[in-house]
C-alpha cells in the first residue's frame, strides 16, 4: 500500500479542507470549524452576483424621465400572514379592505415619496417580461410557497436579466423553495424556521446604503427573526439582529440553533443583471403604524422605503 510522507499527508489534508470550504461542505459558522448547516450547491447559482456593479445590465429598459413605478405582489399559495388581509381579487389594483395592511401601507409609501405602486395577487399580471418592464422594481411581500407559474417564473428571470429591480420582504423567503435561481435572487438564502415572535435589538451594520443611512446604530423591533438555510452569501449585509437580546431564545420551531454573532436581517446584491434588496423583517401589521406607538415601526418603514427606492434605481443602490 502506498503511504504518504508526513509533509505530503499534511498538504493533502489542507487541500481537502480548502476544497470542502470552497464547496461549502465544511462550515465555518460562528468561527467553529465543522459546526453549522451544510450549505451545499453552486455558490454562484450560475450567474454573476455579489456587490460588484459590473454584474448589472444597464440595457436601457427603463426611462427615469417617465417617473418610477413598482409592482407589489402578495399572492400566497401556502400560509398567509395576517398583515396581508384577505386574498385579493383578480387583475391590477383590486379593491382593498382595511385588513389589507401591507398593500395599503406600500401604496401610501409610494404616494408620499414620489413613486407609483400597482399591486396584485393575479399571477397572470407577471406572465410576460413586457408586462414587468413597465415597472422599475417588483416587490414580493410575504408571498408563500409556489406562487408563480412557469410563465411568471420565466418572465421574472428575463426581467431581472434586463436590469430590473427586485425587493423581497419577510416571507418572500418562504417562496419558490425548489427553484435555485430564485434562492440565488434572495442572496443564496432561504427561510428554514423561526423562534417566538419577540422584541430584539437590530444593529445597523452598514449606514452608507440608501436604506440604512437614516437609521440609528441600534433600534428595537419585534419580529419572528427568521433562521435561514442557506444563510446569505456574497451580499452586502445592511442590518443584523443581536441574538443576545432575544429573551425567548433563538432556536427555531424546527430546531435551527440560530446564527450566533452574524444573524443578518437585511442585505443587498447585484444578481443576474438586476438589483436585489432583501429583508426578513415585516411580520406584524403594527410595523406600519405611524403614531410612534410601536417600537421600530418608523425605522422599518425607512428601511424598506430605501430598499425600494434603491432597487428601482431612483437612489444609489447597495453602497
Does residue 21 register a pLDDT over 80? Answer: no
Q: In the structure, what pLDDT confidence band is assigned to residue 42 with cuts at 50, 70 and 90?
A: low
pLDDT beyond 80 at 147? yes
Asked if residue 270 has pLDDT above 80, the reply is yes
pLDDT value for 35: 45
**Each residue of 46-101: pLDDT tens digit?**
999 999 999 999 999 999 999 999 999 999 999 999 999 999 999 999 999 999 99
Specify the CATH number for 41-312; select among 3.40.50.300, 3.30.465.10, 3.40.50.880, 3.40.250.10. 3.40.50.880
Contact 142, 168 (CB under 8 A): no
Express as a percent the part of the chain with pLDDT over 70: 87
* CA dihedral sign, ordered 24, 27, 31, 37: positive
State the pLDDT confidence band at 17, using cuts at 50, 70 and 90.
very low
Task: Quote the strand ranges of 182-244, DSSP E.
Answer: 191-193, 198-204, 218-223, 227-228, 236-242
Q: What is the pTM of this model?
A: 0.88
pLDDT of 2 above 70: no
172 contacts: CB under 8 Å, gap ≥ 6: 140, 141, 142, 143, 186, 278
Supply the pLDDT for residue 41: 52
C-alpha span between 43 and 24 (Å, rounded): 8
Q: Of 17-31, 85-99, 121-135, 262-276, where does mean pLDDT reach its minimum?
A: 17-31
Q: Alpha-carbon distance 137 to 60, whole Å?
A: 14
Say if CB 166 and CB 176 are below 8 A apart.
no
Per-residue DSSP letter, 179: -
Rounded average pLDDT over 7-28: 40
pLDDT band at 44 (very low <50, low <70, confident <90, very high): confident
Pairwise CA distance, residues 29 & 36, whole Å: 5
Alpha helices in 66-134 (DSSP H): 101-113, 129-132
CA atoms of 191 and 252, how far apart (whole Å): 11
What pLDDT is attached to residue 18?
41
pLDDT digits (tens, 9 = 90+) for 188-229: 999 999 999 999 999 999 999 999 999 999 999 999 999 999
Q: Which residue spans of the chain are classified as CATH 3.40.50.880? A: 41-312
Nearest Cα residue to 92 out of 70, 77, 110: 70
For 128, 129, 149, the CA distances from 154, given in Å and listed in that order, are 8, 8, 9
Amino acid at each position: 500500500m502506498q503511504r504518504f510522507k508526513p509533509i505530503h499527508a499534511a498538504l493533502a489534508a489542507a487541500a481537502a479542507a480548502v476544497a470542502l470550504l470552497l464547496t461549502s461542505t465544511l462550515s465555518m459558522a460562528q468561527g467553529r470549524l465543522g459546526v453549522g448547516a451544510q450549505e451545499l450547491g453552486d455558490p454562484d447559482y450560475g450567474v454573476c452576483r455579489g456587490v460588484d456593479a459590473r454584474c448589472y445590465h444597464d440595457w436601457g429598459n427603463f426611462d427615469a424621465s417617465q417617473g418610477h413605478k413598482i409592482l407589489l405582489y402578495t399572492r400566497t399559495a401556502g400560509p398567509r400572514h395576517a398583515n396581508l388581509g384577505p386574498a385579493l381579487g383578480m387583475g391590477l389594483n383590486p379593491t382593498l379592505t382595511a385588513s389589507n395592511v401591507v398593500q395599503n401601507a406600500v401604496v401610501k409609501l409610494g404616494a408620499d415619496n414620489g413613486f407609483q405602486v400597482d399591486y396584485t395577487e393575479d399571477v397572470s399580471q407577471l406572465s410576460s417580461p413586457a408586462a414587468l418592464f413597465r415597472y422599475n422594481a417588483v416587490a414580493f411581500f410575504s408571498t408563500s410557497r409556489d406562487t408563480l407559474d412557469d410563465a411568471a417564473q420565466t418572465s421574472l428571470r428575463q426581467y431581472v436579466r434586463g436590469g430590473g429591480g427586485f425587493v423581497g420582504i419577510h416571507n418572500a423567503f418562504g417562496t419558490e423553495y425548489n427553484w435555485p435561481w430564485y434562492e440565488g435572487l434572495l442572496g443564496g438564502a432561504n427561510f428554514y424556521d423561526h423562534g417566538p415572535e419577540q422584541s430584539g435589538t437590530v444593529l445597523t451594520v452598514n449606514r452608507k446604503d440608501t436604506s440604512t443611512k437614516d437609521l440609528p446604530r441600534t433600534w428595537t423591533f419585534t419580529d419572528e427573526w427568521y433562521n435561514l438555510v442557506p444563510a446569505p452569501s456574497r451580499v452586502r449585509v445592511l442590518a443584523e439582529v443581536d441574538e443576545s437580546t432575544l429573551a425567548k431564545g433563538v432556536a427555531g420551531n424546527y430546531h435551527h440553533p440560530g446564527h450566533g454573532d452574524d444573524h443578518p436581517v437585511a442585505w443587498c446584491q447585484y444578481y443576474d443583471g438586476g438589483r436585489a434588496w432583501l429583508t426578513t423583517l415585516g411580520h406584524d401589521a403594527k410595523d406600519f403604524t405611524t403614531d410612534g406607538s410601536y417600537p421600530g415601526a418608523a425605522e422599518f418603514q425607512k428601511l424598506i422605503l430605501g430598499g425600494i427606492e434603491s432597487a428601482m434605481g431612483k437612489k444609489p443602490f447597495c453602497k
